[in-house]
Amino acid sequence: MADVIIVPHLHAGGAAAATLIAAVLSPKPDMVLGVATGSTPLPIWSALAAMRLDMSRVSAFALDEYLDLPPGHPESYAAVVHREIAVPLGLNPRKVHTPDAQADLRDAPSAYESAIRAAGGIDVQVVGIGRNGHIGFNEPGSSLSGRTHIANLAAQTRRDNARFFESFDQVPTRCITQGVGTILDARRLILVASGRRKADAVAAALEGPVTASVPASALQLHPDVVAIVDEDAASRLSFADHYRMSAPHGDAA
């Protein structure tokens, strides 16, 4: 069972997650941080940046990347991670990794797995959740033990991400993503979710059966998961009161 922290709003959630990351960084300045794109984790990066920690020795690995975008496209996750995470946190660009969408796709997935292994594995992985229960770009039906691989994006995900492109048609149809098994290898996971449109996915992920139909439900199998969700995203949880009382990081709210 994950520790579930229900916060009134995303800002408090960002501060709570940043505190957890800082606690790992303090004894291990060269920690390996798993970063996630999307809007939900943004308050984590701004809270971490505000702490003014020396993160120059940190290695970072993104969960996923679009395929078929021109190199340097501003919505490629390489560009997004650089702009929204690496620069504000003061990460060393040479230590920031996204799956290489421009490489030979026969080699890119295993190369990414090797790079994570060579860095010593991920200490803390931040994970968002899709409305359809995806983590990274592991859409419903993905193997719960999968490794980094090439996959197709669900139509729902393309619609949700169309806001970052000029039109739905411009949203790539393919991606390279850490597999659910890769994600579960991280030593600690922080799941973040916000808003009513995530409420069903959050309830299915945290309280439903572990099933490939909801890839995020695999997080229930991990021994060290903290889910930080706002009131709206928590609104379909059956045991919300229990979580509130048992939340170990009471300062989060």
- Which positions are annotated as active-site residues? 64, 132, 134, 139
Among 76, 161, 178, 182, binds ligand GLP (CB under 6 A): 161
The first and second tokens of residue 26, run together, are: 């303090």
Contact (CB, 8 A) for 47 and 16 = no
Do residues 49 and 88 make contact, with C-beta atoms less than 8 angstroms apart? yes
The residue written with tokens 């979710």 in the block is 193
Q: How many CB atoms lie within 10 A of CB 105?
A: 15
CB of 232 to ligand GLP, least distance (A): 12
The reply to whether 37 sits near ligand GLP by the rule CB under 6 A is yes
- Assess 40 for contact with ligand GLP (CB under 6 A): yes
Under the binding rule (CB under 6 A), the answer on residue 142 touching ligand GLP is: no
Q: Segment contacting ligand GLP (CB under 6 A): 32-40, 50-58, 68-76, 234-242?
A: 32-40
DSSP H/E element including 227: strand 225-230
Single residue of 7, 58, 64, 252 touching ligand GLP by CB under 6 A: 64
Residue 33 dihedral angles phi and psi, to the nearest 5°: -105, 125
Q: Is residue 130 near ligand GLP by the rule CB under 6 A?
A: yes
CB of 29 vs ligand GLP, minimal distance in Å: 26
98 binds ligand GLP (CB under 6 A): no
We find the least distance from the C-beta atom of residue 54 to ligand GLP, in angstroms, to be 27
Stretch that binds ligand GLP, among 34-42, 44-52, 80-88, 229-237 (CB under 6 A): 34-42
Q: How far is the CB of 241 from ligand GLP (least distance, A)?
A: 26
Q: How far apart are CA 210 and CA 220, in angstroms?
A: 7
**Is residue 38 a contact residue for ligand GLP (CB under 6 A)?**
yes
Minimum CB distance to ligand GLP, residue 83 (Å): 15
Tokens encoding 34: 């798993």
Rounded least distance, CB 108 to ligand GLP, Å:
16
Between 39 and 56, name the residue whose CB sits nearer to ligand GLP: 39
Which span sits near ligand GLP by CB under 6 A: 31-39, 43-51, 86-94, 105-113? 31-39
Residue 67 token pair: 């395929």
Residue 182 and residue 175: Cα distance in Å, rounded?
Answer: 16
Residue 44 in 3-state DSSP? helix
Instruction: Please enumerate in sequence order all residues whose Cβ is within 8 A of that of 192, keeping only pairs 6 or more positions apart, or say none.
Output: 13, 17, 36, 40, 41, 44, 126, 127, 128, 129, 227, 228, 229
Instruction: Examine residue 43 and tell whether it contacts ligand GLP (CB under 6 A).
Output: no
Structure-token match 């790992």, residue found: 24
Residues near ligand GLP, by CB under 6 A = 36-40, 63-64, 128-130, 136-137, 157, 161
